[in-house]
Amino acid sequence: MRILVVEDERALREGLKDTLERASYAVDVAESAEDAAEIMDIAPFDLVLLDVNLPGEDGISLLKGWRREKNDAPVILLTARDGWREKVAGMDAGADDYITKPFHQEELLARVRAQLRRAGGQKEASLRFGSLEIDTAAQRVFVDGQDVRLTAHEYRILNYLAHNAGRVMSKNQIMDHVHDLDSEALSNGTEVLISRIRRKIGRERIETVRGLGYRFDADHPAAA
Answer for the pair 55, 12: CB distance below 8 angstroms, yes or no. no
Ranges of H-type helices in 120-169 = 152-163
What mean pLDDT comes out for the span 22-41? Answer: 94
Q: What pLDDT was estimated at residue 223?
A: 39
Look at 127 and 30; give whichever has higher pLDDT: 30
Please say if the pLDDT value at position 190 is more than 90.
Answer: no
Domain residue extents for the chain: 2-119, 126-216
What mean pLDDT comes out for the span 107-115? Answer: 94
Give CATH for domain 2-119.
Answer: 3.40.50.2300
Task: Give the global pTM.
Answer: 0.83
Per-residue model confidence as pLDDT tens digits over 164-182? 999 999 998 998 898 887 7
* Percent of the chain with pLDDT strictly greater than 70: 95
> 126-216 architecture in CATH?
Orthogonal Bundle (1.10)
Please say if the pLDDT value at position 68 is more than 50.
Answer: yes
How far apart (Å, rounded) are the C-alpha atoms in residues 36 and 87?
A: 20
Q: What pLDDT was estimated at residue 82?
A: 76
pLDDT band (50, 70, 90) for residue 117? confident
For residue 137, give the nearest of 120, 114, 157 by alpha carbon. Answer: 114
Classify 197 as helix, strand or coil: helix
Q: What pLDDT was estimated at residue 185?
A: 55
* Percent of the chain with pLDDT strictly greater than 90: 67
Q: What pLDDT was estimated at residue 187?
A: 52
How far apart (Å, rounded) are the C-alpha atoms in residues 214 and 224?
A: 18
Please say if the pLDDT value at position 184 is more than 80.
Answer: no
For residue 107, give the nearest of 137, 133, 134 by alpha carbon. Answer: 137
Please say if the pLDDT value at position 81 is more than 90.
Answer: no
Please say if the pLDDT value at position 83 is more than 60.
Answer: yes
Look at 13 and 137; give whichever has higher pLDDT: 13
